Homo-oligomer: A and B are copies of this chain.
Amino acid sequence: MASRAKATILDIAREAGVSKSTVSLVLQGSGLIRPETAVKVRKAIEDVGYVYNRGAANLRKAHSNVIGMVINDLTNPFFAELAVGMERVFQSAGIVPFIANTAENPVRQEEVLKSLMEQGVAGLIVSPARGTAPGAFRRLETAGLPVVFAMRRLPESRIPVIAPDNHRGAWLATAHLVGKGHRRLAFFGGSSDLVVYHERLGGFREACETLGIATSDRLIFEGETSRKGGIACMETALAMAEPPTAALCFNDAVAFGAMLALRKRGLEPGADFAVVGFDDVAEAEHYMPALTSVAVDSAGLGERAAHVMLKMIQSRTTRAEDHIGAVNLVVRDSCGPDRRAGMGDAA
Q: Interface residues, chain A, CB within 8 Å of chain B?
A: 1-2, 4, 6, 49, 51-56, 58-59, 65-66, 74-75, 77, 80-81, 83-84, 87, 91, 96-101, 103, 108, 111-112, 115, 117-120, 139, 142-144, 227, 256, 260, 263, 282-283, 286, 288
Contacts and interface: CB of A to CB of B under 8 A. Distances in A.
Nearest to A288: B288
A139 B52 CA distance: 13
Q: What 5 pairs across the A-B complex have the smallest Cβ distances? A: A55-B55, A98-B98, A99-B99, A54-B118, A96-B115
Copies in the complex: 2
Contacts of A99: 74, 98-101
A55 B286 contact: no
Contact of A119 (B1, B66, B143): B66
Most buried by B among A6, A65, A96: A96
Contacts of A49: 139, 142-143
A234 to B, nearest CB: 14
Contacts of A4: 144
23 contacts: A1-B142, A49-B139, A51-B117, A53-B59, A54-B55, A54-B118, A55-B119, A55-B120, A74-B80, A74-B83, A75-B80, A75-B81, A75-B84, A77-B77, A96-B111, A96-B112, A96-B115, A97-B100, A98-B99, A99-B99, A99-B100, A119-B119, A256-B286
